[in-house]
Structure 1
Amino acid sequence: MTTGGERETDMQVQMTDEERSKDEFFQRVAQLSEEMVARHGREFTMGTLVLAARWIAENRIGSETAPS
């Protein structure tokens, strides 16, 4: 029987470079979100993240040539 930690390690070994990169960004966003909630509350944090998503969708930040 494998433990959750063993399965997690196996999954990490099988991740591609792109998947690892995306996972690292997700972890950074999660950490930043936690800090924002602690300092400014949930409403501010959600509004900021939604606004950022909107700007990305409207091509105001980033570029269309970025990898997906």
Structure 2
Amino acid sequence: MTTDASTKEAFFERLGALSDDMIAAHGRDFAMGALILAARFIAQGQPVADAANASASKIIVDH
């Protein structure tokens, strides 16, 4: 495995652990919603940290 591939693998492991933690704490719907919102922020070129401060209804309405 190349350094690039091993770095990506490490991120997937961290993402998997975070997803499992979110599911355990708040359920599958919350975990999926949070990951989708993060992906949307990435696609829009916005800092993902902004997602923590935005309301879900505002994000959904402002597409």
Structure having the higher Rg: 1
| Off by >3 Å, runs of 4+ in structure 1 | none
Q: Could you tell me which residue of structure 2 aligns to residue 11 of structure 1?
A: none
Which 5+ residue runs of structure 1 have no aligned equivalent? 1-14, 63-68
For CA contacts below 8 A with separation 6 or more, give which structure has more relative contact order: 2
TM-score of the aligned structures, taking structure 1 as reference length: 0.68
Q: Deviations over 1:28-64 (max 9, x none)?
A: 00001001000000000000000000000000027xx
Q: How large is the Cα RMSD of the aligned pairs?
A: 1.1
Q: Could you tell me which residue of structure 2 aligns to residue 53 of structure 1?
A: 39
Task: Give the percent of matched residue pairs that are identical in Structure 1 and Structure 2.
Answer: 48
- Which stretch of the first structure deviates more once superposed, 53-62 or 27-36? 53-62
Matched, 1:26 2:12: yes
Aligned length: 48
TM-score of the aligned structures, taking structure 2 as reference length: 0.73
